[in-house]
Amino acid sequence: EAFAVDPDRAIAGLKSHVWPALPTDDGGEEFAAYFNLLAATHVSAEGSHSAAAATCAAAAKAARALHDAAPRLSLASLIGPDGGAPAGGSTEASHATAAAIAIDAHASGPHGAIRFPSDAVAALAEAVRGLPAPAPGFDSDAVWLSAVCAVLSLSVPGAVRPQPRDRWTAAETALPTLPPDDIAAVVRWCALDGAHPMGWPDAGGGFA
């Protein structure tokens, strides 16, 4: 009832109180519920043709798809509280993607080996296409490059770090999915000690 009486106040309350309390991972249903409620409240405030409501409805659908592709993904790093771009931009989005893929790569290989999780990355890249307002510069190509870099620099706390050759063997299967410029950047980074392909500092997790 409070949402119908004062929807603008309700919208502000959702963003200031509910959004910060959402899970940092494994929160697909919670994020979808938040955005669906926010969409309904925008309709109460602005009518059935509310653009903000449409954005929130699309964000709810995207949140589920992102979670299904990578349950450990920090959804707040890819979607902002109004369904738009996240505050951390493409840097935060790519770091969150890499972190989720690193966990998947480490957990999915047999007998402690690592494996590039191609199916999960493909699903995640497709889910990113459904974002109503992705971070500028963060698209499906950025998802693949983030994933390749995550596997090449794989270092999971509490586990023995795989050797560079093992990380390269796992990641090279995905290289054909990258644009030529990204492939060249990866090779320069790994073989010639060049800059990180995503512009990240290598401290604590470079290729070597």
Listed in sequence order, the residues at least 6 apart from 157 whose beta carbon sits closer than 8 Å to its beta carbon are: none
Q: Residue 203 has what pLDDT?
A: 46
Amino acid found at 155: S
Query: pLDDT exceeding 70 applies to what percent of the chain?
Result: 91
pLDDT in tens, 51-64: 999 999 999 999 99
Residue-by-residue pLDDT tens, the chain, 208 positions: 556 678 888 899 999 999 999 998 888 999 999 999 999 999 988 888 999 999 999 999 999 999 999 999 999 999 999 999 999 999 999 999 999 998 888 766 565 678 899 999 999 999 999 999 999 999 999 999 999 999 998 876 777 788 889 999 999 999 999 999 999 999 999 888 888 888 877 544 567 6
Listed in sequence order, the residues at least 6 apart from 116 whose beta carbon sits closer than 8 Å to its beta carbon are: 105, 147, 148, 151, 170, 171, 173, 174
